[in-house]
Every structure is written in structure tokens, then in C-alpha cells.
Structure 1
């Protein structure tokens, strides 16, 4: 008999029930590495690195109906990970062992909330990400074509949305949630929580760990940038910086000593070429979103048709069983049970071919 694990003996079991947490944890069991993803914090690069450590077939990640616009985004489809187990699929005894004291390297990455918010807003809304089409009719959705002025104004409008409606639906999206919520430090014991500016240190520490456990593969952290515009001081003027500090007060309280606004202030203004690239990527995002919505609709229709075909086939089978139980006749008169059954059988076969 399997004895249920307790929070004390298996604290990571708590993540299974927490919103999205199960899908944001990546374990390389043989290498004893656990990565807890925080959205928009170099997570695409870190997932590709983790996939290699876990022994996934990197060429096996392909296009899906997920909300992605780039080949690199295929890594976000957790269903395409076949070696790295989800926490709910993991043996409780193994899951209970995931702790630095047991030789595991457990890590996550943080980011300045100002840069993170601007990046998430740009990636998901300004670039018309295919997964965010439902927001396009909102009055706070960014405009196109873009200009420096429109980007600053529309970002300010979005920040104001969080001030006015702190419980707005999009605030609960992982890309816009507080980082302290996504880290789950109450149940996850970390070897170290790095910042995006410390990725070089992360690679050194991780390489040392992998050497100790005998993992001899190549450790590669690909550089990927999915947004043309870097957060700069212009985007945080006129009180926007102070508003963001209030919105993400929990993050600043926990990690605020890591971040300096001067780093953002020193980023150059956006060039005409960068603004043009925003419009180019947004047009692709809109087109991909349209095609994705069509594909999802076709998929739903195919599922509905297959269910209908299955019901027709089941009805035909029931009629056939009734017919087989009756005495046979030489000629089936018009409107007979056999003719009805044959007609339903043909109809069911047509449904099956279409589906």
C-alpha cells in the first residue's frame, strides 16, 4: 500500500495544485537539477539549456497550436518534453529527494520588475502575440503603427490599468504576476536564486555541479531576444516608475537591492529601425494568430464530428444486434429494420471518413 506523502516529507507536492506551478518546473533527474521558471526572465534560453541537460531530443520540439510566433518558442510546449518528468508524474520518493542537502542544484532567476513588465507588455501585447488576441478590442491595447510617443503612452496606459484594476484578469497571467508568487519559496529550497545579470555566474555554478555528479555534456545557454525594444528611462518617466514600484512592491521588498534604475536610464532611445521591426513582428503575430484561431476552430469541429460519428456507429451497432436477434427474411421490405440499419451504417462510415 502506498503511504500518502506529507508536506513535511514531500514539500514539492504542494506545487502540483498551485496555479501553473506544475508546468513551470523542469527537472533533469540524472543530473539532479531542478529549474523553477519565472516568466520573462530568460526562460526560453534556460529551458533549452535544461532540455539538453535532461537528455531531451532537441530536434523533437516542433510547431504546435500553442501561442508562439518563433521556432524557439516550441520549447514552451511542456507536452513535448518526454524525458523531464512533471512533478505530478514523478515518483513521490524521488520528488521528496529534490533538495540542495541531497545533492540537487535547485535554481531560479529574477529580473528587475520594471524591465520585466515592459518586456512582457511588449512581447505579449505590442507584438500581437497569437495567444492574446482576446484583448485586442480593449481600450488599453497598444496601437499600430508605433512611434516613440505611442509606445510610451500605451505602456503608461497599461501600467495605469494595473493601478486601477489590481485584480484584472491579465494581472494573473504568469508573465505579469509577482515573481515572489512564482518562486514558491515556502516549499522550494533553492541552491541559489540568480538574477538575469548573473547568468554567467549561474553557468559556472551549474557546470561545477554537473562535474560533481558526472554529467559530461556540453552546457550551452543560447542567447535569445524576443523583443526589439529595450526598456529605457523614457518609458518610466512621468511617475510610471513609481507606479510600477507599488504594483510590484512584494518583489522590490524581497529582491530590491539587486536592481538599480540607473541601468534602465542608461539604455539608449529606440531607433527608427527598432520601431519598424516592432510593426513587422506585430504584423506576423496578427497573421499567425488568425491562422491559429482557424486551426483551433477546425480542430474543435473535427472533435465534434468524430463524436457524432461515434454516436452514429454505436446506434448502427445497436440496430445490427437487434436485427441479428430476429429471424431473417429473404427480402427486406421497404422501410425494414435491415434497410434502416444499412443506411445508418453507411452514414456512420461517411462521418468517420470525414473526421
Structure 2
């Protein structure tokens, strides 16, 4: 059985993660609060890690455990005890989807999308450079019309679907759409464990806002795709213009994006080889 809910046992906190909702930041906060953050072990990982910061998703590095893999008695205590916090976070669906696209599709971070997604979501090119806005809007249309090409990748599923995997009675819901709420949660968590905790941004992208690339038609698609999130978490249906100025990467930026893709592809190849050698060594 694969776990979903993360437990910081020393800090007595359960965390329901959602992809592209400050999940790296929250994992690091919980690992630091728990006293189990081990970045010194990064050189010993055999899985693909885009950066040292992103290694916090690895259980060896964060020292958290999956609640579902613990005893029934422990799970009952974690689910119901007033001594335990049960936390999650939610993010504006427009911002979350742009961030997911930039990370998983534009930069090709390792994920679970099917091979045909790359053809369906191929770059829109203007004078040899990637049209960021046009390529994103094309992706949203594909997600609306043919979501199957994104496979089981949770980055393109609703936040509600993450919550429904293992329903919990939450004590804290951190809303990233509210200024300063993540910092306030970090301070409260730090007070709980007697440490100074500061949330760090660990997954920086191109520095663009979703408002730079979302037009009215695309916004309508996003609201339809993630209708459950808009309804469940009462996100506002923002107004967007019918058309936008072009957002096109420079030639240098286009080269950098393509280079990043090639590095990721090579990293996955090396990672597969490392896992193969580890497996064959254990079987020998």
C-alpha cells in the first residue's frame, strides 16, 4: 500500500500534501520542526533529484513517514487526538496550474505524464523562440479535451482529489491565496516545537504570473477543469482580458529551457541505471 498523508511524529503533525501547493516548502518546515531534515544524505539518493532543495520530497531526506503504513492504533491517535495537528494547504487554481505546467511540461521535470503529451503540448514557436503564453494556453486546451495524456500525474488533478484520498478532520488549512498566511503558520509551528521556522521558496520558475498568460477563454477552461476546487474552497472566479500581449522567451531563455530539458532527461537515464545496478547487486 502506498501512503499519502505524511506524519511528523516528533512534532505531532499530519500533513495532507497537494502538488504545486507549497508542498516542498511545507515538507521542509515539517522536517525541520520534526528534527529529521537530512540534506547531508542527498549524495546517496538513487532517484532523480532536480536540485538539492527538491530532495526534501525524498523520505530519506525529510524523515517523515506515511501515516497509512503505521499501525491502526497509531493512525487512530493521529486522526483524532487533540494533541495532533492535521494540516493541509490550498492554492488559487489559476496559479497552481500555471506553476504545474511550467515545472512538468515546459521544463519537463520527472513525472507521470504519457509520452504522447509531449506531442500534444509541443512548443508554440515564434521566430525560433518559445511562445510561453501560447504554449501554456495550448496545454490548457489539451488538458480540457484530452486529460488522459497526462496519465496519473497528480499535478494535473484537482486539489480536492488529494484531500479525498485520505479524508481527515483538519485543524489547519493554510490558504496560499491569503497574504502572509504561510508565514503565520510557520511561526505557529515553530512556537509549538520551540524553534524559529521560516518558510523558504524552493521551486522558483520563470518569474511570470498566471495573469501574464491566462486570457478569458483559458480562464473559463480552468474553472471547468477544477470546478470542484472553486466550489469546495470558495476561490474567486477572476476576470481576465479577452486577449493578452505576447509573452515570448528570448533566444537565450529558449536555449536555457531546452538545455534544462536535456539535463532532466539525462538525469532520469542515470537514475534508472543506478536503480538497476542497485537491484541487480541485491539479487546477485
- TM-score, normalization by structure 2: 0.81
Residue by residue over 1:44-101, the C-alpha shift from the partner in whole angstroms, topping out at 9 and shown as x without a partner, is 111111110111143334153434322111111224444x322144232222112465
What 5-or-longer segments of structure 2 have no aligned partner? Answer: none
Q: RMSD over aligned Cα, in angstroms?
A: 3.5
Q: How does 1:136-155 map to 2 (within 5 A)?
A: 138-143=118-123, 150-155=131-136
**Among 259, 268, 275, the residue aligned to 1:292:** 268
Aligned CA distance change for structure 1 residues 222 and 294 (closer, same or farther; 3 Å): closer
SS in 2 for 1:121: helix
Q: Number of aligned pairs?
A: 281
Distance 1:121 1:203 in 2: 26
Q: How does 1:80-229 map to 2 (within 5 A)?
A: 80-82=61-63, 84-99=64-79, 102-131=82-111, 135=115, 138-143=118-123, 150-166=131-147, 168-170=148-150, 172-184=152-164, 187-198=167-178, 200-205=180-185, 207-208=187-188, 211=191, 215-229=193-207
Distance 1:102 1:196 in 2: 25
Which residue of structure 1 lines up, in the alignment, with residue 225 of structure 2? Answer: 247
Aligned CA distance change for structure 1 residues 210 and 227 (closer, same or farther; 3 Å): closer
**Among 26, 42, 52, the residue aligned to 1:62:** 42
Distance 2:245 2:85 in 1: 37
Matched, 1:27 2:7: yes
Confirm or deny: 8 A CA contact 1:232 1:264 kept in the other structure.
no
Distance 2:188 2:110 in 1: 39
Structure ranking higher in helix proportion: 1
Larger Rg over CA atoms: 1
Confirm or deny: 8 A CA contact 2:124 2:134 kept in the other structure.
no
What 5-or-longer segments of structure 1 have no aligned partner? Answer: 1-16, 311-355
Larger RCO, structures 1/2 (Cα 8 Å, 6+ apart): 2
Which residue of structure 2 lines up, in the alignment, with residue 261 of structure 1? Answer: 238
